């Protein structure tokens, strides 16, 4: 029993030291600065703390179609949006692809994590300002084209509380056109249950890569035409699940 107590004490000490490391490191990030780069150190802290958090919440991620993801270039990932956990489970599932999401400003105010994501190339968007939104999408395209990160975004603009697809803001596909990058179509299911089940019950989350639309396929199409194809693929898949 004494040995078990020592082991538990060591684990608790290591956990506390890790949390201190994350929080102290976050203090060196300017919360108002848009870095536009992907720090390997802060990406490690983001991925490891996310893995720990999802472990505590008892979230099990199931992935299909990952073999379709481009290995030789950055991409734009688009998905349906059901929960605030959507980007978290996605960047954890595809940690090696250095995903950075376009996110609302309030997410950058989350203690510790808000600064970590900022230092990993995540971009804040002001959805109330079309001009500002276009500027953000242009910045995202530059980062993808220059190979800094792959970008994740949600055409619905906000999460759907009914799990039904909301109308698309097709302007987000401008980022793909400007970057001339593949558009990865992803479906997510189960994240809407995490806040109801965490700690007491395991939550199974399903991430499915449905398609990868190369720039040669959408070149010459309008953004609404790209959006229609993506929406149709998501609807067809989610309808039978």
User: Can you tell me the distance from the alpha carbon of 216 to that of 213, in angstroms, rounded to the nearest whole number?
Assistant: 8
In this predicted model, what pLDDT tens digit does every residue of 188-216 receive, in sequence order?
A: 999 999 988 777 889 999 999 999 999 99
- Does residue 10 register a pLDDT over 90? no
Residues 6+ apart with CB under 8 A from 16: none
Token pair of 161, please? 């509380």
240 φ/ψ sector (left φ>0, alpha ψ -120 to 50, else beta): alpha
Q: What is the mean pLDDT of residues 70-83?
A: 96
List the strands of the sheet with 150-153, edge to edge: 59-64, 203-213, 183-189, 76-79, 150-153, 99-104, 123-125
Q: What is the mean pLDDT of residues 117-139?
A: 92
Percent of the chain with pLDDT over 70: 98
pLDDT of residue 78: 98
The number of C-alpha atoms within 13 Å of 89 and in the hemisphere containing its C-beta is 31
Domain 2-239: top CATH class: alpha beta
Cβ(185)–Cβ(211) under 8 Å?
yes
How many helices and strands, by DSSP H and E, does the chain display? Answer: 9, 7
Cβ(93)–Cβ(87) under 8 Å?
no
At residue 75, φ and ψ (nearest 5 deg) are -145, 170
Cβ(42)–Cβ(25) under 8 Å?
yes
- Residue linked to tokens 């993801």: 69
Pairing relationship of beta strands 183-189 and 203-213 according to DSSP bridges? antiparallel
- Give the CA angle between residues 179, 77, 43 to the nearest 5°: 95
Q: What ranges do the domains of the chain cover?
A: 2-239
Q: At what angle do helices 40-56 and 86-93 cross, to 10 degrees?
A: 120
Q: Is the pTM of this model over 0.95?
A: no
- Does residue 147 register a pLDDT over 80? yes
In this predicted model, what pLDDT tens digit does every residue of 163-192 receive, in sequence order?
A: 999 999 999 999 999 999 999 999 999 999
In this predicted model, what pLDDT tens digit does every residue of 218-238 receive, in sequence order?
A: 999 999 999 999 999 999 999
pLDDT of residue 4: 66
pLDDT of residue 195: 87
- Give, rounded to a whole angstrom, the gap between the first and last alpha carbons of the chain: 48
């Amino acid at each position: 029993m004494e040995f078990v107590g020592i082991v538990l004490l060591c684990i608790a000490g290591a956990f506390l030291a890790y949390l201190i490391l994350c929080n102290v490191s976050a203090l060196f990030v300017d919360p108002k600065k848009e870095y536009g780069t992907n720090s390997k150190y802060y990406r490690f802290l983001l991925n490891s703390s996310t893995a720990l958090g999802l472990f505590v919440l008892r979230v099990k991620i199931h992935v299909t179609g990952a073999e379709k993801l481009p290995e030789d270039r950055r991409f734009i990932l688009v998905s349906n949006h059901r929960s605030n956990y959507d980007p978290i489970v996605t960047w954890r599932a595809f940690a090696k692809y250095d995903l950075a999401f376009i996110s609302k400003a309030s997410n950058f105010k989350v203690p510790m994590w808000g600064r970590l994501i900022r230092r990993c190339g995540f971009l804040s968007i002001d959805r109330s300002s079309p001009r500002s939104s276009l500027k953000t999408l242009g910045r995202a395209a530059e980062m993808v084209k220059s190979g800094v990160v792959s970008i994740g975004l949600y055409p619905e603009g906000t999460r759907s509380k009914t799990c039904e697809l909301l109308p698309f803001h097709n302007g987000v596909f401008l980022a793909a056109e400007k970057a001339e990058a593949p558009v990865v179509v992803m479906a997510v299911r189960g994240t809407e249950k995490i806040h109801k089940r965490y700690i007491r019950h395991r939550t199974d989350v399903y991430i499915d890569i449905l398609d990868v639309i190369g720039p040669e396929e959408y070149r010459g199409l309008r953004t609404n035409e790209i959006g229609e194809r993506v929406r149709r693929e998501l609807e067809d898949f989610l309808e039978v699940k």
